[in-house]
Structure 1
Amino acid sequence: MFAVSTYCLHREPLGTALEKLASISGSVEVMDDGLHYIDTPEILLSYSFSYSIHAPSRGVNIASLLEPIRKASVQVTDECFAIAAEVNAPVIVHPGYFTWVEEREMAERQMLKSIAELCSLADDRGVRLTIENMGNWDYFFLRRPDELPLIDGAGFTLDIGHAHLNGCLPEFLIHPFDHIHVHDNDGTTDSHGAVGIGTISFPPVMAAIIRERVTPVIEVETLEGVMESVRALGL
């Protein structure tokens, strides 16, 4: 069993994307951003998919030192929780970032405050919250396994492409995870390529997926890449 992220069709309206994915998988992760931003569960309820939702990430920062922006980021994410509760979907959240290296400690405190608030809000709505590791962007949190204690209380989404960019995928794979994003790259660019075009070794990834009993979410750039990945992984 596998799921497909709507990321592969993010240049098309969400309804079109869901229609195209209906013949490929019964499980979909909605990238709640851009053309796929959702402010009502109506379109999701019109299909019989099993869902997960990637909360808005491009315009929010749960680690912002600007308190109105941090609070608004939590509010936007809670609005995503409300929709997720209607379709029984777990929600994936980015950990936020700091603008200047000198502000890291202060931003970390802001992130921890946001995570505590989000865990409480998710619990109130009966939604499973997981937080995703980030790629090789200097100012993001949760790039390496030694930062996992920062998200204590929330679940963990392992993005194998991001971990590979930071040269620590094997170290991440030994840790438990609740959700996983699968895509490939050459170790230098977050290309979200089809499985097999990059330099990730997938047998250890598949072994960890089996160990953790999670459904792999194919999160690649194109629909063709989704199908290539499914074939390469034997799903």
Structure 2
Amino acid sequence: MRSLQNISFSSLCVTDDPFNWACDLEDIGFGGWEVVYEGKQALDSNLVRMREVCEMTDLAITIHLPFSDLNLASLNYPIWDEVIRQLTSCIRVASEFSDLMVVHPGYLSPLGMQ
């Protein structure tokens, strides 16, 4: 079997509890785990479990910052400011686990592109 050591597993589409099986990723051959910081994987409510995964494995952790209902390209300043506030808060929490974060740049509305 080919090594997946340089490949991380993204749990973006996982609907069950990824913290239950994250430690198995190394046994499968993955070298890293991309944690999607929202929904059931939101770190705010899973700090203890995330620390356990980090202590029990050598997985390289990447954090995929929240993107649902957040538009970093918003031209509406109060909305943009709130997105920045939320992402900054997430980065502060996630920096305990990783130096690498993934962020979506957002999108321009049809009128915003004019």
TM-score (norm 2): 0.75
| Distance in structure 1 (CA, Å) of the matches to 2:40 and 2:24 | 15
What one-letter code is carried by the residue in structure 1 that aligns with 2:49?
I
Residue in structure 2 matched with residue 88 of structure 1 by the alignment: 98
Residue in structure 2 matched with residue 43 of structure 1 by the alignment: 49
Residue 22 of structure 1: CA displacement? 4.3
Q: 1:80 to 1:29 in 2, by over 3 A?
A: same
**Gaps spanning 5+ residues in structure 1: where?**
106-235
| Distance in structure 2 (CA, Å) of the matches to 1:14 and 1:35 | 8
Larger radius of gyration: 1
Residue in structure 1 matched with residue 75 of structure 2 by the alignment: 65
Is 1:16 aligned with 2:20?
yes
| Distance in structure 2 (CA, Å) of the matches to 1:68 and 1:17 | 39
Residue in structure 1 matched with residue 3 of structure 2 by the alignment: none
Of 7, 10, 26, the residue aligned with 1:5 is: 10
Q: How many residues align?
A: 103
CA RMSD of aligned residues (A): 2.0
Q: 1:60 to 1:17 in 2, by over 3 A?
A: farther
Aligned residue for 2:80, secondary structure, equals: helix
| Distance in structure 2 (CA, Å) of the matches to 1:70 and 1:31 | 21
8 A contact 1:61–1:97 mirrored in 2? yes
Q: In the TM superposition, what are the counterparts of 1:138-149 in structure 2 within 5 Å?
A: none
8 A contact 1:41–1:86 mirrored in 2? no
**Greater helix share, 1 or 2?**
1
Q: Give every structure 1 segment of 4 or more consecutive aligned residues whose post-TM-superposition deviation is greater than 4 Å.
A: none
Q: 1:89 to 1:42 in 2, by over 3 A?
A: farther
Residue 88 of structure 1: CA displacement? 2.8
Residue 98 of structure 1: CA displacement? 1.6
**Greater strand share, 1 or 2?**
2
